[in-house]
Amino acid sequence: MKYFYEEEVDTYIYYRIPKPLFSNDKYKKMLPLAKVLYGMFLDRTTLSRVNGWVDDKRRVFFYFKRTEVASMLNITEKTATTLYKELEKYELLEIVPQGKNMPNILYLGQYELST
């Protein structure tokens, strides 16, 4: 096993998954993989902000194809769709269709800190 040494701990790339998704009662029944996906989406919004992907209301948006999610998480596209719906149910994701052959615009919702 390769160990982490103190000078290495902060040098790795990682996804941030907010603790309230695990500690807030509102999210207790949320699918664990949806929480992981939220962390992936949070990472994507950071990149979107850097790239200037902000709408006329100053909301950061992003694109993330379900096929990409399925590949990254090693799940089916149907399961990826389930995870998107799970995040929508908890008001953590808004999906805005753009039309045929255009990717959906995604907005990430803010999580609640406590119940």
* CATH node for 18-108: 1.10.10.10
**65 Cβ partners below 8 Å, 6+ apart?**
103
Give the dihedral sign, CA 80/58/112/10.
Answer: positive
Helix (H) / strand (E) element for 110: namely none
**pLDDT at position 8, please?**
79
Measured between alpha carbons, how far is 12 from 20 in angstroms, rounded to an integer?
23
Domain boundaries, the chain: 18-108
Which residue(s) pair with 108 in the sheet? 93
Residues of the chain short of pLDDT 70, as ranges, are 115
**pLDDT at position 115, please?**
62
**pTM higher than 0.85, yes or no?**
yes
